[in-house]
Amino acid sequence: MRYGTDADLEGFRAEVRAFVERCAPDIPPKAGVRSAEDESELALLKEWTRALFAAGYIGGSWPTEYGGRGSDHRLERDVVVAEEIARHRAPPPVQGAANLVAAALIEHGTDDQRRRHLAGIRSGERIHCQLFSEPGAGSDLASLRTRAVPVGDGRFRISGQKVWTTNGQWADYGYLLARTDPEAPKHNGISAFLIDMRLPGVEVRPLREMTGTADFNEVFLDDVEVGPEALIGTVNHGWRIANSSLAHERSGVATSAVRLRRNVAALVDLARRVPRHGRPAVEDAAVRDRLGALTASVDALSALVYASLTRVSHGRPGPVDAPMTKLMFSELGVEIAAFALELEGESGIVVSGDRALDNGRWQDEFLYARAYTIAGGSSEIMRNLIAERGLGLPR
């Protein structure tokens, strides 16, 4: 079966499309994955997340006792939902880190942890952040230095610094990796925790980025004491837990081709409205060539995404599907946004006001696009993976 063409999914797609049109929050669209700008946007995003869970459009893979569809769940449906949200330029649910937390708790948590946390995720009420990366540990995450020292009765005292923490400024809980055995080989001495972000010793400092918004943060942990209920799974098994929860996030990849297709369509529209050599740019042969090449690249990406999802649903994930998709999506995103600014000419430097084209959409896309080439593994790391796992080249 091929994704995106399966006839019985088309009815579901129409239903989701109507739902998204009716219920998507009234928040001005932005490029990429962004945090709420203020409390009122946050409230809208929480309600949007709640509505998506309540409609059964997300969380389908969860066990039925926590509201999932159990064995009725189909990955194709997650894909359709993610695609329709992206197509509409609606914000994704406040869910990125919550997805990882849910996966970690379902697979490795205690019943008590599942009861305490999963309901708050479903209701959209609880915001989560991912406290993995550090100033000296990103690509090489296992070299992280935040320490969690046992202090008796299953309690730990945590100190260190995290960075790039999306949604940290709004988060109620943080999914944290910390070193619990500094003597063990680096992958074996790490544990996973779910910590209350309001505990004494947690300090969150938002970072304002070149897009003008503060989407991620620095988080400082200074002798933060947590009880045994914060530990996920067993001590020193954090690396395995983090990797297995990351592997659950598959439907995100589906949005990549949809987002870029949407952007190429907007680019063609832009090319109709801006001049080149006294004629609409779209009539220029060189512009048409580039629009054609970008369209072909998005088609290739789309084929790769669906082939990859099909392999996943047959239990045979391709070893380099994810890095190839991530690399192609993020680099193409930069290319499309850069071409839009080129087409805009001198208006390309105006981000707001009467002279700004498309409400500054392309400036925002351009400034954000680079983030995708870093987040979740940089382009260089993706190329390494493709070379080593796909082509069998030496390290």
Ligand X SMILES: Cc1cc2nc3c(=O)[nH]c(=O)nc-3n(C[C@H](O)[C@H](O)[C@H](O)COP(=O)(O)OP(=O)(O)OC[C@H]3O[C@@H](n4cnc5c(N)ncnc54)[C@H](O)[C@@H]3O)c2cc1C
Measure the CA–CA gap between 220 and 227, rounded to whole angstroms.
19
Stretch that binds ligand X, among 20-28, 55-63, 330-338, 377-385 (CB under 6 A): 377-385
Residue with tokens 């309001």, as numbered in its chain: 198
Q: Judged by CB under 6 A, how many residues of this single chain contact ligand X?
A: 19
Q: Is 62 in the site for ligand X (CB under 6 A)?
A: no
On whether the CB atoms of residues 208 and 214 are closer than 8 A, the answer is yes
Residue 132 interacts with ligand X (CB under 6 A): yes or no: yes
Whose CA is closest to 337, among 368, 301, 303, 300? 368
Applying CB under 6 A, among 21, 65, 299, 380 the residue interacting with ligand X is 380
Candidates 220-228, 281-289, 322-330, 374-382; binding stretch for ligand X (CB under 6 A): 374-382
* Angle value at C-alpha 75, between 304 and 258, nearest 5 degrees: 45
Both tokens of 81, joined, read: 């939902």
Comparing C-alpha atoms, which of 223, 166, 175, 227 is closest to residue 197? 175
**Residue from 10, 18, 115, 139 binding ligand X (CB under 6 A):** 139
Separation between Cα atoms, residue 38 and residue 169, nearest integer Å = 10
Are residues 259 and 29 in contact, defined by beta-carbon separation less than 8 angstroms?
A: no
35 binds ligand X per the rule CB under 6 A:
no
| Site membership for ligand X, residue 138 (CB under 6 A) | yes
Nearer to ligand X, 6 or 218 (CB): 218
The interface region with ligand X, picked from 54-62, 191-199, 250-258, 370-378 by CB under 6 A, is: 370-378
Active site residue 41: no
Q: What span, in angstroms and rounded, lies between the C-alpha atoms of 169 and 205?
A: 7
Catalytic one of 249, 331, 335, 342? 249
d(CA 175, CA 131): 6
Sole binder of ligand X in the list 95, 133, 211, 255 (CB under 6 A): 133
Between 60 and 333, name the residue whose CB sits nearer to ligand X: 333
Instruction: Candidates 142, 214, 266, 375: give the one binding ligand X (CB under 6 A).
Output: 375
Among 49, 165, 180, 263, binds ligand X (CB under 6 A): 165
* Gap between the Cα atoms of 102 and 63, Å rounded: 11
For ligand X, which stretch binds (CB under 6 A), given 3-11, 130-138, 143-151, 272-280? 130-138
Q: Is 329 in the site for ligand X (CB under 6 A)?
A: no
Contact between residue 345 and residue 336 where contact means Cβ atoms under 8 Å apart? no
Is the Cβ–Cβ distance between 372 and 32 less than 8 Å?
yes
State in angstroms the smallest separation of the CB of 196 from ligand X: 17
Does position 371 interact with ligand X (CB under 6 A)? The reply is: yes
Q: Is 113 in the site for ligand X (CB under 6 A)?
A: no
21: left (phi > 0), else alpha (psi -120 to 50), else beta?
alpha
By the criterion CB under 6 A, which residues form the site for ligand X? 129-130, 132-133, 138-139, 164-166, 216, 371, 374-378, 380-381, 384
Q: Which residues are catalytic?
A: 249
